[in-house]
Structures are given as structure tokens and as C-alpha cells.
Amino acid sequence: MIAENEEYILEMLGKGMREHERGHMQYRDIKIETNTIPHAEGSATVDIGNTKVLVGVKLAVGTPLPDKPDEGALVTGAELLPLANAEYETGPPSPEAIEFARVVDRGIRAAGVVDTDALFIEKDKVWTAFVDIYVLNYDGNLFDAGTLAATTALLSARMPKLEGDEVIREGNLGKLKTNGIVTSCTYAKVSKNVLLDPNGNEERIMSGRLTIANDEKVVRAMQKGLSGSFSFKELTELVDATFDKSKQLRDKMKQAIGD
Amino acid sequence: MKIVLPGDKISDGPVRMENTIVENGKTYATVIGMLDESKGAFVPLESVWYPRQGDFVIGIVENSKNNVQTVQFDSPFRGLILPPPRPRFGGRGRDDRFGGGPREERQEVLHIGDVVSAFVKDVKRESDQIILILERPKRLFGGKLVEVRPSKVPRIIGKASTMLKQLEDGTKCTILVGLNGIIWVNGGNVALAQKAITKIQEEAHIGGLTERISELLTSGSINRGS
Amino acid sequence: MGGGKNKPELIVGGKRTDGRAMDELRPIKIQVGILKNAEGSAYLEWGNNKVLAAVYGPKEAQPKHIANPDRAIIKCRYQMAPFSSLEEHSRSGPNRRAIEISKVTKEVFENVIMLDNFPGSEIDIFVEVLQSDGGTRAAGITAAAVAVASSGIPMRDIPYAVSAGKAGEEIILDLNKIEDNYSEADMPIAVAPRNNDILLLQMDGSLTSEQIRKATDMVIKAGETITKLQREALEARYS
């Protein structure tokens, strides 16, 4: 794929335009599919434009974290797969992948999507929920796609049973207990413009990035990335915009899980 | 005179001055320095050496290949000593490489690890870094290298080289000061020279420096005396 | 965040666990230039936090293929010493948290340092947390900003950082470790004060849009104090 000419994008922005005739505060088409990996306890594939992210959720029996002895654990990881983008390389997780996973994790955790209390089994024995984010195709805005896919996968996950030492993962199972729902909206700063849901071309030339994760009532997580800055005024405006824009994300998610 | 920090406004108008930037028509400092508002002068207290044509520098030969030496300055800039152009007439052909050419074309043979002084002939932006083309390279035999902050070099030299002369007289050393912050000290009381240079660096901003250095040099040579 | 079953009361009788008012900073002490090898360095005590910051360079970027032909690159390492916390000995070396903090700290300085002046070179920023008590990334950035300013590496502005958060329904400034563990929200922010540009912003927990406004106002006000302390520390070196 040839990267779009930087000046062309800036020239278009000067005329108030974006690729594919999108408005500055408009999402690309979003598609959410659940249970795409039936072997996993929960899974979801999310497309935002050409960005495609898959999340698989597995539950395993383990020991609790030392500072939280009476609740289960949540572990979130992200892989920027080499097949997703010519620029991704094999090797240990990059700082970018780690930041991505941790931002998604903070949103899910702060919104209480996973009820970790319900993952307690007995003393020194808890369930750990592993949320693995697989980036399959990169065209910008991984954060929103990752949060959408992770939350959807968790909300649609089944809860395995423990019979003796055996983990029962199939058959007549209940659902993973969840307590919240979270989505995120990511904005890119490109010269003086603020763009919702940046695509790959826009991300290549953005100076700064701001992700705001929220539920219906409150902001649950935020992360500013890259060297570019945002003003305090922009921050409060984007927080308000996020409460507005996130409605469609939650609706799509609820639709996908048949809620 | 007042201390100015990076980001402090120096002028409400745009002023072209070293170690400042102009943003929205106003001028701001980019390094810590002293501002003399009456004269509009801004002198950095700390700065990073940025090479200019004609700068006298001291470095260490880091590599030597195909008659080209690269010189390291403990900075992001690398120096290059190119072979002298072959004289068109009157050369002696093959024997040139033994230094047999006309006197002004002759260049010392330099090896890896040699300390050299040179002048910056050209500052070139290469594909991946800034390269300094050096001229009049001179190998410095023996001596000790003392590193200082490049922003202190003007104080070590002093107005019309007065401080440097004071240092040389007081220590009986030969002292060459590279603008890149590397100083070569040879002969005489090297330890005393180093002590004095360090003192200048540490106390450059405090008044009465010349007197204190003078005292140090006198007492230092007496102590050593005998 | 909000974890643990035995949640302590963070606010009793209108005061915080350490007696501070809601918008009160912990005491901050900054010392400039205590590491002789570094181009610039600072030691900062912020409440019980003890942080060392140092800057090296600009020097040739290593390895060569990471060099940027147009500007200097910044390498940044934030690390907590294994003995830094009141809790157990922690593994040394960078964990995922430290890698993320190193990245966002680097991005703060990519904004303010004039990287265009030094193509092909690298500038290294090190933040070592010797003792931790909540808010170490803010302390690290505040210290590193002073270290860079003392180095003569040209920069547009001297950033500061501090966090705001929420305990119960109160918006609080500069969370200590207990508050960090049990608060309803934590929001570290780094700012370039000249234009009030947000250079770092992270948050997790629960904040309404009105609470975010209140918290950011608190940060800007505290910034005046922190900026003044940074200034005094730098000036003290030359007087």
C-alpha cells in the first residue's frame, strides 16, 4: 500500500474535507461481529473502515494477584501482527503495542466490564480473564476498534465451570459476569484540525492523539499520545463530543450481542 | 541583567538572536541565560556546541580509511579530514603519499586514537547527520584533554584571550581551547591548569572571577613551589 | 483504582489522609546539577517521592539505523528502583507500566526540545524513581524538565506535571500512593505552561465532564507553583 501524499491530505483539510468525504467528527463504517472464534470463551471482530481487530477472551484458573487476594484477574495484551501492516515487525511487543493494550485495559477495568469479584473461586484460586487483542489489518484508530472488540467479546463471553480440577468450557454454561460497558473515541490532531477516528493516512501525519473512553455517565479512561499538544479547551470540548459520539458505538455493540 | 529560562519572553517583537525562537511574533529564550535588557543582549549560561565555519576544534581520530580520517568530538557531529588535493604541476607522483609534495600540501599522517586540532572548513548536512569538513589538521602530541561545557569556552578564553594568557602564564602550560569544549593542556603544571579550568567552568557566572583565578594560580604554584 | 475490599476513608473531616486540603500540593524540593557526568540533572523530592533525572547528549544516534536525518531522536527510560516502594521488593528492569510511562514521557519532551537543531543525533533522558509514593511519572517529568533546562539543550518551554483525581465526590490534587490506590479517578497531566498546552494526559476511573473541568483548573493553578519551584531551582545554581 502506498501512503497517501501528506500534502494532499493537508490541502483537503484546508478545504474542510477528509478522505472518503468524511466530516471531521464522523466515524467510518463500523461492523461488529461476535463469536467469530467459537473456541474462545468470548470473541469479537470489529471493522472500522479498513481497520480490522479481533479479540479473543479465554479464562484460566490461576492464583490471585498478591494485592487482590479475593478477586479474579484481568490480563490484556495486544499484538500488532506483521500481517496487518507492512511496517509491523516480529519480535517482543513494541512500546506502541504495550501502550495500546494498557489503554484498552484501563477503560475495561475502570468501567468494571469484568466483575472480578465473581471470578473468585476459593482461597488462592481465582479465574483469570485473558483478553488478547489481535490487529489483523491496520488503517488507523486501533484504540477504538480494540476497546469495542474487547468489550463486545467480554459481554458475549461464556463462563467456564470447574468440576474438580477439570475446566468445562463447552455445553450448558452461563455467561461471564459483567458490570459495565465501555467504548472509546479517538481524536487525531493534524496541523490545527481535530479529526475523530483517524485513518492510517491521517495517523501517519498526526502530531497528537487523544483517546477518551466512557460509559453512559462518566469518562473512564483517557490517554494523550505523541508529541503534539491539545489545549484545555479542546479537551473539555472533546469530552463532551465523546458523550455524544459514543451513543452510536454502544448501540452497535448492543445490537451485535443481541441485547 | 537577569536570569532567563527556556520559554521566557525576551522581546514582544521578533528578534533574530541566537538561542531564541520567534513564535507568534514574539521572541522567547530556548536556553538558560543572562539577559541584559538595556543592551538587548542574551548570553547563554548553558548551551550545546553548534559548529560554524572557522571554528577551532579538538577531537580524536576515530577511524582512518582510504586516506580519509573521521574525527570524534564527543558531540553528534563527526569531523572528516580529507586528503589534500594532488598538486597539478610539479608533484612527484607516487612519492606524494610519503609527504614529499609541496610544503603547503603536506599533511601529517594520522592514526586512530591521535588527538588532533583543526578548523571547521564546512558544515555539511549529510543524509543521516551533520558532517564537519576539517582543514589544517594538526596532531597534538602528549598533553591532557580537559572537557568543559561549550558554553563556558568564551570565559576560559576571556576577553581578548586575557584569561587564557593568565592560565598559560600561571601554569607554564600550553593550552589549546577547542570551541567544542575539549581543551588540550600540555607541559607545565597540568593539574593546576585543570583545577583552574574547572573553577572557571563552575564559577563563570560569579563576579570577580579573574581575581579568584589569579589567586588560585599564585597559591597553586607556591604550594607546588619548592 | 477503587480496588481492595478494605478501602480506607480518603477524606475525614474535610481533610485528606495526610492532612492536606483538596487542592494542596505535597512539598516539592528540587536540586539542579547533582550528577557531574550528565549534561543536565535534577534531584526532586515530591512528598515521599524521590526522583533523579538526567539528560545526556545530543550525541550520535546509536544504533545508526534509528537515526532520523531531519531531527534528533529522544530515548527515554523511566524506571522504579526495586527498593522504591513500601511494599515488596519488585523485579528490576522495565515492566509494561514502565515502558508505557517511558513512551509518554518521551513524547512530552519531543514536543518541547528543539530536535530540528540536531539531525541524526540522540538525546537520552533518564528518570530513576528511588522512592515512590504515588505520582512518580509527574515527579519524573517535572524533574527531567529541569534537567533538560539546565543542560543547555534548546527547548521551547519547561513543562511541569501533576495529577488530579477524585476521592469520594471530591476532586483532589496530587494523589499520594494511598489515594492513588483507592481513589475513584486519577488523571496525570503534563503541561507546557507558556501556552497551557497539554503534553501528557492519562486518566482512569470515573469522572464526569464537569469534574474533568474542575480537575484541570486545579492542575493549571498548581502548575503556577510547580513552575515557580522549577525556576527557583534553576536560578539557585547561578546565584
Question: Residue B92: pLDDT above 70?
Answer: no
Name the domain count of chain A. 1
Residue A227 contacts C, CB cutoff 8 Å: yes
Among the listed residues A61, B5, A177, the one whose alpha carbon sits nearest the alpha carbon of residue C236: B5
Q: How far is CA A218 from the centre of its chain?
A: 17
Question: Residue C222: pLDDT above 60?
Answer: yes
Question: Residue B106: pLDDT above 70?
Answer: no
Average pLDDT over residues A120-144: 94
pLDDT, tens digit, 9 for 90 and up, residues A196-230: 999 998 999 999 999 999 999 999 999 999 999 99
pLDDT, tens digit, 9 for 90 and up, residues C52-85: 999 988 888 888 888 888 899 999 999 888 778 8
Average pLDDT over residues C101-121: 95
Q: Where are the domains of chain B?
A: 2-44, 56-140, 144-224
pLDDT confidence tier of residue A24, bands split at 50, 70 and 90:
very high
Interface partners of B (3+ CB pairs, < 8 Å)? C
Question: Residue B55: pLDDT above 50?
Answer: yes
Q: Measured between CA atoms, how close is C203 to chain B, in angstroms?
A: 27
Name the domain count of chain C. 1
- For residue C37, the tally of other CB atoms under 10 A from its CB is 7
Cβ within 8 Å, pair C120-B151: no
Q: pLDDT value at position A34?
A: 94
Which residues of chain C lie closer than 8 angstroms to B19, CB-CB?
A: 154
- Where is pLDDT greater, at A251 or B216? A251
- Where is pLDDT greater, at B83 or B21? B21
pLDDT, tens digit, 9 for 90 and up, residues C135-176: 999 999 999 999 999 999 999 999 999 999 999 999 999 999
- Where is pLDDT greater, at B189 or A101? A101
- For residue A254, the tally of other CB atoms under 10 A from its CB is 14
pLDDT confidence tier of residue A144, bands split at 50, 70 and 90:
very high
Residue C238 contacts B, CB cutoff 8 Å: yes
Ranked by mean pLDDT, which of B34-38, B137-141, C153-157 comes out on top? C153-157
Interface partners of A (3+ CB pairs, < 8 Å)? C
Average pLDDT over residues B85-104: 52
**Domain annotation covers residue C14:** no
Domain of residue A98, residue span: 27-256
A–B touching, 3+ CB–CB pairs within 8 Å: no
Average pLDDT over residues B149-163: 88
Q: pLDDT value at position C2?
A: 47
Cβ within 8 Å, pair A222-C202: yes
Which residues of chain A lie closer than 8 angstroms to C200, CB-CB?
A: 224
Of A106, A226, A228, the CB nearest to C204: A106
Q: pLDDT value at position C88?
A: 67
Q: pLDDT value at position B220?
A: 72
Q: Measured between CA atoms, how close is A176 to chain C, in angstroms?
A: 20
Interface test with C, best of B46, B149, B153 (most C CBs within 10 A): B46
Query: For the domain that residue A136 is a member of, what is the CATH number?
Result: 3.30.230.70
Of C117, C120, C155, the CB nearest to B128: C120
B150 → chain C, closest CA residue: C152
The mean pLDDT value of chain A amounts to 92
Average pLDDT over residues B134-158: 89
Cβ within 8 Å, pair B3-C235: yes
Range in A106-110, B63-67, B165-169, C132-136 with the lowest mean pLDDT: B63-67
Q: pLDDT value at position B188?
A: 85
Question: Residue B48: pLDDT above 70?
Answer: yes
Among the listed residues A180, A173, A68, A79, the one whose alpha carbon sits nearest the alpha carbon of residue A130: A79
Of C1, C87, C192, the CB nearest to A110: C1
**Domain annotation covers residue A10:** no
Cβ within 8 Å, pair C212-A235: yes
pTM above 0.90, yes or no: no
Domain of residue C66, residue span: 19-236
Which residues of chain C lie closer than 8 angstroms to B28, CB-CB?
A: 156-157, 194
Residue C151 contacts B, CB cutoff 8 Å: yes
Q: Which fold has domain B2-44?
A: OB fold (Dihydrolipoamide Acetyltransferase, E2P) (2.40.50)
CB within 8 Å of chain B, chain C residues 181-200: 192-194
Cβ within 8 Å, pair A226-C107: yes
Q: pLDDT value at position C232?
A: 98
**Domain annotation covers residue A57:** yes
Q: pLDDT value at position B221?
A: 66
> What's domain B56-140's architecture?
Beta Barrel (2.40)
pLDDT confidence tier of residue B205, bands split at 50, 70 and 90:
confident
Question: Residue C207: pLDDT above 90?
Answer: yes
Question: Residue B100: pLDDT above 70?
Answer: no
Residue in the block written with cell 531522536 = C73
Q: pLDDT value at position A176?
A: 95
Residue A41 DSSP SS3 = coil
Average pLDDT over residues A42-61: 93
Q: pLDDT value at position C62?
A: 82
Q: What is the ipTM of this complex?
A: 0.91
Residue C94 contacts B, CB cutoff 8 Å: no
Q: Measured between CA atoms, how close is C66 to chain B, in angstroms?
A: 10
CB within 8 Å of chain C, chain A residues 185-224: 210, 217-224
Residue in the block written with cell 489489518 = A137
Residue A106 contacts C, CB cutoff 8 Å: yes
Ranked by mean pLDDT, which of A116-130, B35-49, B130-144, B208-222 comes out on top? A116-130
B9 → chain C, closest CA residue: C194
User: What would the DSSP string read from start to end of B20-83?
Assistant: EEEETTEEEESS-EEEETTTTEEEESS------TT-EEEEEEEEEETTEEEEE-SSS-EEEEPP
Query: For the domain that residue C230 is a member of, what is the CATH number?
Result: 3.30.230.70
Q: pLDDT value at position C4?
A: 47
Among the listed residues A32, A31, A12, the one whose alpha carbon sits nearest the alpha carbon of residue A22: A12
Which residues of chain C lie closer than 8 angstroms to B45, CB-CB?
A: 152, 238
Domain B144-224 = CATH 1.10.1740.10: no
**Domain annotation covers residue A4:** no
Of A66, A222, A243, the CB nearest to C203: A222
